[in-house]
Structure 1
Amino acid sequence: MSIKAPFKADHVGSLLRPNNLHEARKNFKEGNITAEKLREVEISEIKRIVDKQIEIGLQAVTDGEFRRTWWHLDFLEHLNGFEGYVPEHGYKFEGTETEKYEVKNTGEISFNTDHPFVKDFTEFNEIVGGRAVAKQTIPSPNQLFNPRIRDTSIYPDIEDYAKDIIKAYQDALQAFYEAGVRYLQLDDVYIAGLSAPDLPPNDIAYSREELIDLALRVINGVLEGKPEDLTVTTHLCRGNYQSTWAFEGSYAHIAPTLLAKEKVDGFFLEYDDDRSGDFKPLHHIPNGGAQVVLGVVTSKNGELEDKKAIKARIREASEYVPLEQLALSPQCGFASTHHGNKLTEEQQWDKLKFIVDTAKEIWT
């Protein structure tokens, strides 16, 4: 097995929230329990899932994003220059619309040195206690380029907006590093969206190629000067909300630029159904470069995959990327929002154990 992240058996991050955590959060919002009591429940449940992840053999563990409501908005609204609000509409997904919440740009952008995620990681890392690698997930800086976020009266020039976002994220990476993070993942729906057949609407008159170039410059700018022993991966996602998805499209549009030139240590790529296209775009990833973590096991339902079929897909991908440069994971988290996907917690653990066992058979 690999001793450096990303691991041959890895996972994206979020886990299904248990009922008592849902209940505690509801009681806190209604004023029936204190913030301290809610945190006690969170800590108890995080301890439980850390133990479970280690028990099934994962080398990297997460806090399941148990302190969050959303995979991205909880982090973004605590950056200086942004705040959360309730818009008229949620995000559009296949056959549904999400809960209504978003962030908006309200001032000059910088990293908040009192960002709660840093304290949360310190506490989480103590729970892990060196028994595994404590993985931290945050949204990609490119999520801030979604339309309806930037205030053009504050940032009329998109390049100035990008410059301050890059600096804020550079400071975020350094803060996490000082808190003990050595494995950090940037979750990026925006970049995956740039490969969709229909380009998402944007608030600037840029072509697809220009938007891809901007996204690449932002990520590589954030990574410039990062500590050498900080592993940074990115997860490209096409949406994950109560087992539905937001868009489809292969990686063909972004592969020659983003997959070839993004200076991350690994790519977590969705490949659990035909919405993701084939493996051919992977040939753009340099040999000996970033690890490619194939999300060929779905987190959207509880049916366990056929091991022979998964191994066959790994072999197929190895026609484009050397086998030793490949790894295995679910295609996404199990609960990108607090609602969670439509499967049971037992099925979730079975999926992750399946990934661990299959990876051992492939790479040992």
Structure 2
Amino acid sequence: MTGAALPRPRRAEHLGSLLRPAELLGYASQDTNATARRQIENREITIVVNEQLKIGFKAVSDGEYRRSLFWGTFFDNLEGFEAVPLDANGLRTYLPDIKVLLESPFAPGASTMCTGKIRHPGSSNHLDEFLFLRSVVGPENAGNIKITIPAPSWYHFRHKDGMAYAKGVYDSDTGYFEDLAVVYRQELQILYDAGLRRVQIDDPHLSYLCSPQIIEDWAADPESIQTPTELLETYVNWYNSCLGNVPEDIHIGIHICRGNFTNDRYVSTGGYDIIASRLFRDLNVNTYYLEYDTPRAGGFEPLKSLPLNKYVVLGVISTKKAEMEDLEELKGRVYKAAEYIAEGNNVSLDVALERLAVSPQCGFASHCRENRLTRQNMLEKLQLVRDLAYSIWGSQA
């Protein structure tokens, strides 16, 4: 992916998930007729899309209203993955999300795991999401629809080395990576052929590779073969294989955050410094959606490594708290980020600003039951994103 003419993010973006209305949650908690459930989803998606358009967003999502969690059922629909009894012995129990997963009363009885050779089923649940969105915005605006998909490493990262798949299925990670890369290329081709041009890959685990505490715990694990640095190298190459045949007119972004929990116990901390050079220069994506609303994500200095053929969407507005940020302060932070891009590339501030956009730091409801903000809070935050973009880029926003 090279060249200045490649697809770019919109200046005002959000990260996909939006707060679910009460009626939709009510249906989700019941054994409801599938047709009735579909009707309420369609109605509420139409409402929330029109709210996005009214505020002035060009890139719109369905709020992930058909999913209970941000990664949806993508892996469950693949051949080779199934629900199996949860086995903590195969997991990196020092990772924050795994700690939460194993805690009573949250511990589930099962987890999704690779138990057979990985194959794409030939159909895509993301395709249904896209096609309905296209019916809402019209075919002429289909290029602005954004679909979020989970990272290929979602169920790999949490497992100890060599334990992301059942014994006898793959001899090593190599075969697992190759088959899953084929699946992602097939998935993206299905969506591209239908007209989708904007994809966001959600990978919060990459932020764990920035955390001094997690890196320390990882080093203390006698069963770890790869270091976090070596794993990043592996993942960059794997991602590039997953995106190996992506047409140049599709916009691919990767979202890296530390969650939208308010309790630091559930998130990683640490700036992007450790992973920035490899991530920005070698990962074949157009855009990086980065959390930047609190000091836990570090400073803007790593942006000096961003090449001028890529973009960063600065997540400077929080979805973790209802309090509204000050627009002028946010604007100053965006300009500060641009200064580091300018320094790293020896270009003017105006040129550096062209590589930036703005968004909230995470989705508003990575889990459908998240409700720290009201719907009005959410709409006000989205309006602030739009106002911030307009204050910097004017009509180009």
* TM-score, normalized by the shorter chain, greater than 0.5: yes
Aligned match for 1:135, one of 136, 139, 146: 146
Contact kept in structure 2, 1:93 and 1:239, CA below 8 Å? no
Bigger CA radius of gyration: 2
Q: Is 1:16 the counterpart of 2:19 in the alignment? A: yes
Note the C-alpha offset of 1:176.
Answer: 1.0
Contact kept in structure 1, 2:201 and 2:255, CA below 8 Å? yes
**1:52 aligned counterpart, secondary structure:** helix
1:315-354 equivalences under 5 Å are 315-321=335-341, 322-354=352-384
> CA 1:84–1:55 in 2, change beyond 3 Å: closer, same or farther?
farther
Contact kept in structure 1, 2:317 and 2:360, CA below 8 Å? yes
Q: C-alpha offsets along residues 271-307 of structure 1, whole Å, 9 cap, x if unaligned?
A: 1101101111111111x22110000101111111001
Q: C-alpha offsets along residues 81-104 of structure 1, whole Å, 9 cap, x if unaligned?
A: 11245637874359x885736321
Aligned to 1:314: 334
Q: Structure 2: state its 5+ residue gaps.
A: 89-96, 342-351
Contact kept in structure 1, 2:84 and 2:113, CA below 8 Å? yes
Aligned to 1:299: 319
Structure 2: which amino acid aligns with 1:104? M
Q: Is 1:220 the counterpart of 2:240 in the alignment? A: yes
**2:370 aligned counterpart, secondary structure:** coil
Aligned match for 2:169, one of 137, 154, 165: 154
- Give distance in 2, aligned partners of 1:80 and 1:16: 31
Note the C-alpha offset of 1:263.
Answer: 1.1
**2:80 aligned counterpart, secondary structure:** strand
Note the C-alpha offset of 1:246.
Answer: 2.1
Q: Is 1:114 the counterpart of 2:128 in the alignment? A: no
Contact kept in structure 2, 1:242 and 1:342, CA below 8 Å? no
**1:60 aligned counterpart, secondary structure:** coil
Q: Is 1:38 the counterpart of 2:45 in the alignment? A: no
Counting aligned pairs with the same residue, the percent is: 34
> Aligned pair count?
357
- Give distance in 1, aligned partners of 2:66 and 2:251: 23
Contact kept in structure 2, 1:125 and 1:180, CA below 8 Å? no
Structure 2: which amino acid aligns with 1:9? A
- Give distance in 2, aligned partners of 1:14 and 1:143: 18
- Give distance in 2, aligned partners of 1:165 and 1:356: 37
**2:376 aligned counterpart, secondary structure:** helix
More helix per residue: 1 or 2?
Answer: 2
- Give distance in 2, aligned partners of 1:192 and 1:17: 26
Q: Is 1:272 the counterpart of 2:293 in the alignment? A: yes
Structure 1: which amino acid aligns with 2:189? Q
> CA 1:227–1:299 in 2, change beyond 3 Å: closer, same or farther?
same
Structure 2: which amino acid aligns with 1:235? H
Contact kept in structure 2, 1:188 and 1:235, CA below 8 Å? yes
Aligned match for 1:246, one of 248, 262, 267: 267
Note the C-alpha offset of 1:156.
Answer: 2.9
Contact kept in structure 2, 1:242 and 1:335, CA below 8 Å? no
**1:103 aligned counterpart, secondary structure:** strand
Contact kept in structure 1, 2:126 and 2:147, CA below 8 Å? no
Of 65-74 and 38-47, the range deviating more from structure 2: 65-74
- Give distance in 2, aligned partners of 1:7 and 1:190: 25
TM-score of the two chains, using structure 2 as the length reference? 0.84
Q: Is 1:104 the counterpart of 2:113 in the alignment? A: yes
- Give distance in 1, aligned partners of 2:167 and 2:207: 25
Aligned to 1:92: 99
Q: C-alpha offsets along residues 59-100 of structure 1, whole Å, 9 cap, x if unaligned?
A: 100000001011115222112211245637874359x88573
- Give distance in 1, aligned partners of 2:62 and 2:315: 20
Contact kept in structure 1, 2:113 and 2:165, CA below 8 Å? yes
Structure 2: which amino acid aligns with 1:349? L
- Give distance in 2, aligned partners of 1:140 and 1:131: 26
Contact kept in structure 2, 1:79 and 1:115, CA below 8 Å? no
Structure 2: which amino acid aligns with 1:142? S
Aligned Cα RMSD in Å?
2.3
Of 172-181 and 96-105, the range deviating more from structure 2: 96-105
Q: Is 1:282 the counterpart of 2:285 in the alignment? A: no
